[in-house]
């Protein structure tokens, strides 16, 4: 798999390219890190606002941040005018936070030319790149996707599959929540969710794969995964609180050339809420 990242230099030199769609996928609520707060709206020129919470979550599901259906993303693509051949650049206002989640959604649905802006909006602003105070208006003429979107089933892992994996250990399960949440020594931020972790899972807090607002170098990332027993042929499943920050570390694994990866979409919000599922502390 090619690198999922593009640099601020690259984007700055391609801002006016045809069939390039810049999507601001920042989230309104940031959990697990000290959020970067802005006094006003700053955007990268020509970027569209796409909501993880609404546009890229299944609103018919009772669970939080559930993976959207292909039909839902297809409607979004038609509305904004991009298709499977378009180049999508994703960024968020924390640097690296929610953009990896949006990236995994698009990749899982068959989009190939999708990239995360490494360093996101904070790096863009710090370098004195051009900024705007609004998002790009929606096109007047809708595009045409010309293809139905179907999710790659290997991209998503369910609680039933994880329950079986506790016995088989065919996959390495990596929980990216903070260590104290993983160990169950602090209460979960969501009411009614038990503390602890999935039995036999390993902990790699998502902040450890980042250097400020960017990803660490590939060799450094590789070392982090190797310490957890991962090899090039390992199947790795990523989990977090609700399926957002798990994608940060999932993308880090891909950068480090571990490509057999999957997301536990329900994550701890689902597992910790289900009394029938075992937990460890």
Measured CA to CA in angstroms, residue 196 lies from 104, 179, 193, 240 at distances of: 26, 10, 10, 12
The answer to whether the beta carbons of residues 271 and 198 sit under 8 Å apart is yes
Strand partners of residue 211: 214
Q: Say how far apart CA 74 and CA 103 lie, in whole Å.
A: 15
Contact by Cβ (8 Å): 93, 67: no
In terms of Cα–Cα distance, which of 98, 100, 106 is closest to 77?
A: 106
Tell me the residue length of the chain.
281
> d(Cα 44, Cα 11) in Å, to the nearest integer?
10
Strand, coil or helix: 280: strand
- Name the one residue in this structure whose structure tokens are 């669970």: 63
Place of tokens 């030319």: 113
In this structure, what token pair is assigned to residue 250?
A: 């999932």
**Cβ neighbours of residue 72 under 8 Å, at least 6 residues apart?**
55, 56, 58
Instruction: Give every CB contact of residue 171 below 8 A, 6+ residues apart in sequence.
Output: 157, 165, 234, 235, 236, 237, 262
| CA separation, residue 164 to residues 158, 168, 171, 198, 271 (Å) | 10, 6, 10, 12, 14
Active site residues: 240
């Amino acid at each position: 798999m090619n690198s999922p990242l593009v640099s601020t230099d690259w984007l700055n030199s391609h801002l006016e390219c045809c069939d390039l769609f810049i999507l601001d996928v920042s989230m309104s609520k940031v959990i697990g890190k000290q959020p970067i707060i802005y006094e006003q709206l700053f955007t990268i020129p020509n970027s569209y606002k796409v909501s993880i919470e609404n546009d890229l979550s299944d609103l018919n599901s009772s669970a939080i941040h559930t993976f959207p259906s292909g039909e839902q993303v297809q409607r979004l693509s038609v509305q904004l005018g991009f298709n499977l051949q378009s180049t999508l650049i994703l960024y968020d206002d924390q640097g690296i936070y929610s953009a990896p989640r949006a990236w995994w959604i698009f990749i899982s649905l068959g989009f190939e030319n999708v990239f995360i802006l490494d360093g996101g909006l904070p790096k863009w602003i710090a370098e004195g790149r051009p900024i705007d105070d609004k998002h790009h208006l929606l096109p007047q003429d809708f595009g045409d996707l010309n293809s139905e979107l179907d999710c790659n089933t290997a991209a998503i892992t369910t609680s039933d599959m994880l329950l079986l994996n506790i016995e088989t250990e065919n996959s390495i399960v990596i929980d990216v929540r903070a260590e104290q949440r993983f160990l169950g020594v602090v209460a979960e931020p969501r009411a009614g969710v038990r503390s602890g972790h999935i039995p036999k899972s390993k902990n790699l807090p998502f902040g450890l794969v980042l250097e400020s607002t960017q990803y660490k170098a590939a060799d450094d990332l590789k070392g982090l995964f190797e310490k957890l027993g991962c090899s090039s042929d390992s199947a790795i499943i990523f989990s977090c609180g609700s399926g957002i920050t798990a994608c940060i570390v999932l993308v880090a694994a891909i950068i480090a050339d571990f490509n057999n990866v999957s997301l536990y979409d329900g994550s701890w919000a689902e597992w910790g809420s289900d009394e029938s599922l075992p937990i460890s502390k």
